[in-house]
Amino acid sequence: MASSAVQLLGFCLSLLGLIGTLIATILPHWWRTAHVGTNIITAVAYMKGLWMECVWHSTGIYQCQVHRSQLALPRDLQVARAMMVISCVLSVLACVIAVIGMKCTQCAKGTSAKASIAVSGGIVFILAGFVCLVPVSWTTNDVVTNFYNPVLPSGMKYEIGQALYLGFVSASLTILGGALLCTSSQCHENETPYQTQPGSIRRTAPSYRPPTVYKGNHASSLTSASHSGYRLNDYV
């Protein structure tokens, strides 16, 4: 039971991490306007993401536009796109593998490789979490470095967007869930009961015969001898 609970907890955490990674990949809140210097009082806020740029007006109007040129994008943005998509694909693949290897499912039930399949799903989850963590950390470092760069004007500085925070949380959940799936194999080995060999033969003691049976046989032999004309008592 402990192994099944650990597996289920790890899978749920990794699934939450996958959902968070998908949302962080789609949201345009990776970079947002830094309200410093001349931008403290402004009626317009800019936000940038991996796929689109958005403008928010103080009147409540929210406008977004997809990046027009895919090849003209900065190299770091293209790499971040690719790594986030790869992270999502790996997480989906890990979900399929983990479902097959979990004890609470009927897939591959009764096979010795079921625990190993669950561990493989956990390893893929951990890999997906680190793949998501790389572009999020990289982008955060660029935002912080440019924010404290005195050469850049205030209008070109950005702050950390909500999607980056979500990316950190999602990557942490994915890695933690994968680690729990990996540790569940040890619990599975400890809970494996001892099974007797099917070919073992059950030995039984020989049947017991009461002494009266033997006495009856002896009495009949004496009687048969007396019928021949001789009495055995005469020779005693």
Give which of 127, 128, 153, 119 is closest to 33, Cα–Cα. 153
In the chain the first and final C-alpha atoms are separated, in Å, by 79
Asked if residue 197 has pLDDT above 50, the reply is no
pLDDT score, position 71: 76
* Reported confidence tier of residue 210, pLDDT bands at 50, 70, 90: low
Contact 37, 159 (CB under 8 A): no
Does 2-190 carry CATH code 1.20.140.150? yes
Tell me the pLDDT tens digit for each residue of 157-170: 888 999 999 999 99
> Are the C-beta atoms of residues 128 and 177 closer than 8 Å to each other?
no
For 29-67, b/e burial (b = at least 16 CB within 10 A) is bbbbbbeeeebeeeeeebbbbbbebbebeeeeeeeeeee
Mean residue pLDDT across the chain: 79
CB 129 within 8 A of CB 180: no
Confidence check: pLDDT of 131 > 90: yes
Partners of 191 in the beta sheet? none
Q: What is the mean pLDDT of residues 95-100?
A: 91
What are the angstrom distances between the C-alpha of 169 and each of 130, 133, 175?
12, 9, 10
Q: What is the mean pLDDT of residues 81-109?
A: 88
The token pair at 98 is 């983990």
